[in-house]
């Protein structure tokens, strides 16, 4: 098994719509030979240069770039990151496999800035795990004591369709955090009137997948400020369970 994980989260609001890009990494992980720690980047939606600068500042190397969903304001900087880190995985919810490359689907066409992002390398489904780090490296000689394991940061994919068909929330138990994209916000839920949206489906998915997480779990949304699962369960007028 891997060592204890101490996950850190950096929120970077980007672009005109203030979409939240997140860097998630294990601060205790031994650095790779390059001196960088592996990390996950969620929703690099704009300002690729700024995101790359913060990765360098924190000494991070993206192993996985994952989208909560494929609307343009959450994926526009993906190609810039992949140009800098060509080995990084690029993952989206399976129902949106075609969206990055199609401006009519990723809604960039409607903003007058039609955008084509390269197709994903990996399609995610409910229950999939994203694992960052955890490579076995032998450090000198044949002494078994000298084999070290990078620690492992793991996030579970939770399908939360309704804002868009392939919306995925990423739950990281080690960080006590869930990254909800545009499905759930502090005191609000995502728009369901965009192509492929369905409000009833969205409310049911949030209740089943997100509100069942531990109450102290931090909710890191696709826009604006964070909340906690317990607070949303109690106070969010769209999804709170009556009688709770």
Q: What is the DSSP string of the chain?
A: -PPP--EEEEEEEETTTTEEEEEEEETTSPP-TTS-EEEEEE---S-HHHHHHHHHHHTEEEEEEE-SS--HHHHTTHHHHHHH-TTSEEEEEGGGTTGGG-TTTSSTGGGT-----PPPSEEE-TT-EEEEE--EEE-SSS-GGGEEE--EEEEEEEE-TTSSTT-EEEEEGGGTEEEEETTEETTEE----STT--HHHHHHHIIIIITTS-TT-EEEESBS--EEHHHHHHH-TTTPPTT-
> pLDDT at position 151, please?
63
Answering whether pTM is above 0.85, one says yes
pLDDT at residue 136 tops 90: no
When the pLDDT of each residue in the chain is averaged and rounded to a whole number, the result is 90
Q: How confident is the model over 21-63, as pLDDT tens digits?
A: 999 999 887 777 778 999 999 999 999 999 999 999 999 999 9
Query: For 192-215, what is the mean pLDDT?
Result: 96
């Amino acid at each position: 098994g891997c060592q204890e994980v101490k996950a850190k989260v950096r929120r970077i609001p980007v672009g005109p719509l203030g979409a939240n890009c997140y860097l998630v990494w294990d601060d205790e992980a031994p650095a790779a030979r390059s001196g960088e720690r592996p990390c996950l980047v969620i929703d690099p939606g704009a300002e690729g240069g700024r995101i790359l600068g913060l990765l360098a500042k924190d000494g991070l190397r993206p192993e996985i770039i994952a989208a909560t969903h494929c609307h343009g304001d959450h994926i526009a900087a993906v190609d810039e990151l992949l140009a800098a880190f060509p080995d990084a995985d690029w993952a989206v919810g399976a129902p949106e496999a075609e969206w990055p490359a199609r401006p009519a689907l990723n809604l960039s066409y409607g903003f007058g800035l039609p955008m084509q992002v390269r197709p994903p390398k990996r399609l995610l489904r409910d229950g999939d795990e994203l694992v960052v780090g955890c490579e076995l490296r032998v450090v000198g000689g044949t002494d078994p004591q000298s084999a070290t394991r990078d620690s492992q940061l793991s996030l579970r994919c939770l399908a939360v369709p309704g804002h868009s068909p392939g919306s995925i929330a990423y739950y990281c138990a080690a960080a006590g955090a869930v990254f909800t994209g545009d499905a759930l916000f502090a005191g609000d839920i995502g728009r369901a009137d965009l192509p492929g949206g369905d409000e009833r489906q969205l409310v049911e998915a949030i209740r089943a997948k997100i509100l069942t997480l531990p109450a102290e779990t931090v909710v890191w949304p696709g826009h604006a400020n964070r909340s906690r699962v317990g607070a949303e369960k109690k106070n969010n007028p769209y999804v709170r369970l009556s009688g709770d």
